[in-house]
Amino acid sequence: MTRRRKDYYEILGVPRDASLEDIKRAYRKLVKEWHPDRHPENREEAERRFKEIQEAYEVLSDPQKRAMYDRFGYVGEQPVYQEAQEHGTPFEDIFREFEDFFNRDIFEVFFGETPRERRERFAPRRGEDVEYFVEVDLSTLLKGAEITIEYDRYETCPRCRGSGVEPGSGYVDCPVCGGTGRIREERRSFFGYFVSERPCTRCEGTGRIPKEFCRECGGSGRVKRKVRRTIKLPPYVEDGARVRFSGEGNAGFYGGPYGDLIVVVRLRPDPRFKKSGRDLIYDLTIDYLQALLGTTVEVPLPEGDTTLLKIPAGTQPETIFKLKGKGLPDEHGRRGDLLVNVHVEIPKDLTREEKAILEELARKRGIKIS
C-alpha cells in the first residue's frame, strides 16, 4: 500500500514558517495560474493542481488544521487513503497501520479526540451559562444595593426529572442507529473516500430512545422557566465586568450540573466625577470672593450623599483637596480618594459699585491698576 503524503507547503511554494499572509498571497497567485480554464490543452493536469492548491490552502489557512497537519502530516477529519482503497486494502489494515504509525488511538487520529474525551462524551454534561446584562449606577453599586433581575433559563423537567422519558414508559432501541449509538458514513469527495463515524443524533449516542417522550418537556429533559433572582454585585466591579453566579444558568444534560449565570455589568457613568484608577476627581468651581475669604462647600460623594468641605481663605486656583477613602473600592475593600479640584471663577460683569469698591481696595494695597 502506498500512502500519498502531500506536502502542502511545497504545493503552495511557501516555507514551513510562512505567515498566513504569505499563504494567502501564494494561494491567490496559484489558483489564478492553475485555473483549468486557462489550460485547455492540459486541462486534466490543471484540474489536479487546482484541487491540490485548494486542499493545501484549506488546511494551511486554518490555524487548527495547520497545527494538526504540522504534527501528523495530514488533517484528522480528512485522511487521504484513496489509493489504498483502490488497491483493495481492507480498511482494518489501514486503521492498524495508522495506529501503529502514530502509536495513538485511532479515534484520536481520526476524530481529533482522546480516548478520555470519547468516554466522557455521553457522560452528564453541564448546562450552558446564561448571560444577563444589567445597568447600574455607581451609587447603587457602592451602597451594595440588591438588584432584582428576571431572566429565562432551562430547568430540569420536574415531570421526568431530566430523563426526557414519560414516567412509566421505558426505552426502546434507537431505530436510526440500531441501538449502537453511532452512525457510520462513507462519502466520496475529491480527496478520496472517507469513512467517518459520528454519534447518532436521534438518540444522542445512547443507542436507545424513550418509548414515549415526556409530555412536559417533549423529551429534552429541560423546561424553560422565567426566574427572578435578587443579586448583589461586588462594589468594586468595573464597567464591562462579568460577575458569575454559580448554578444559576441552564440545567445540565444527562443529569449534569447547572451552568452559571453571568451578569455583565454596564456601569452608568456619573458625569460629576472623572475616574483616575480608584481615585475620583470632582471639579468644583467657587467664586473668587470665596477663594479670598474662605467658605464651606457641599461636595457630592459617589454613594449619593454629600459631605462638607472647608475651603480656607486664600485658596489658590487649581488647588486639589483630597478626601481620603471617598473614592472607589478595590476587591480588598480599600478605597481610593476623592480629589476635589478647585477652580476659581473671576466675574466679568462687575457693577459700577463693585468696581469702585475694588479700585478702592487696590489703592489701599498699593496695586497698580491703570
**Does residue 202 interact with Zn ion by CB under 5 A?**
yes
Helices 63-72, 43-60: inter-axial angle, 10-degree rounding:
100
In sequence order, what DSSP letters do the residues of 5-73 get, joined into one string?
A: ---HHHHHT--TT--HHHHHHHHHHHHHHT-GGG-GGGHHHHHHHHHHHHHHHHHHTSHHHHHHHHHHS
Please name every residue paired with 103 in a beta bridge, in sequence order, or none if there are none. none
Site string for Zn ion, 137-166 (x = CB under 5 A): --------------------x-xx------
| Residue whose CB is less far from Zn ion, 6 or 182 | 182
* Piece in contact with Zn ion (CB under 5 A), picked from 9-17, 167-175, 239-247, 310-318: 167-175
Taking CB under 5 A as the criterion, the residue among 130, 141, 142, 203 binding Zn ion is: 203
Range 34-63, binding Zn ion (CB under 5 A): none
Taking CB under 5 A as the criterion, the residue among 60, 200, 233, 251 binding Zn ion is: 200
* Piece in contact with Zn ion (CB under 5 A), picked from 19-27, 70-78, 199-207, 350-358: 199-207
d(C-alpha 164, C-alpha 217), whole Å: 7
**Does residue 208 interact with Zn ion by CB under 5 A?**
no
Q: How crowded is residue 259: how many other Cβ atoms within 10 Å of its Cβ?
A: 21
**Does residue 174 interact with Zn ion by CB under 5 A?**
yes
d(C-alpha 181, C-alpha 3), whole Å: 31
Q: How far is the CB of 224 from Zn ion (least distance, A)?
A: 12
Identify the helix (H) or strand (E) that includes residue 333. none
Identify the helix (H) or strand (E) that includes residue 119. helix 115-120
Would you call 160 helix, strand, or coil by DSSP?
coil
| Residue whose CB is less far from Zn ion, 176 or 299 | 176
Q: How far is the CB of 253 from Zn ion (least distance, A)?
A: 13
Total residues in contact with Zn ion, by rule CB under 5 A: 12
**Does residue 217 interact with Zn ion by CB under 5 A?**
yes
| Residue whose CB is less far from Zn ion, 143 or 159 | 159
DSSP letter at 233?
Answer: -
d(C-alpha 79, C-alpha 2), whole Å: 13
| Residue whose CB is less far from Zn ion, 208 or 229 | 208
d(C-alpha 177, C-alpha 200), whole Å: 6
User: Cα-flanking dihedrals φ and ψ of residue 281, to 5°?
Assistant: -115, 130
Closest CA to 128 of 160, 153, 161: 153
| Residue whose CB is less far from Zn ion, 109 or 174 | 174
| Residue whose CB is less far from Zn ion, 200 or 340 | 200
Would you call 209 helix, strand, or coil by DSSP?
strand
Q: How far is the CB of 125 from Zn ion (least distance, A)?
A: 17
147 backbone φψ class: left, alpha, beta (φ>0; ψ -120 to 50): beta
* Piece in contact with Zn ion (CB under 5 A), picked from 60-68, 128-136, 214-222, 304-312: 214-222
Q: Which residue has the cell 423546561?
A: 223
Taking CB under 5 A as the criterion, the residue among 141, 214, 261, 338 binding Zn ion is: 214
**Does residue 251 interact with Zn ion by CB under 5 A?**
no
In the chain, the N- to C-terminal Cα span, in Å, equals 108
| Residue whose CB is less far from Zn ion, 158 or 247 | 158
Taking CB under 5 A as the criterion, the residue among 58, 97, 105, 216 binding Zn ion is: 216
Interacting residues with Zn ion (CB under 5 A):
157, 159-160, 174, 176-177, 200, 202-203, 214, 216-217
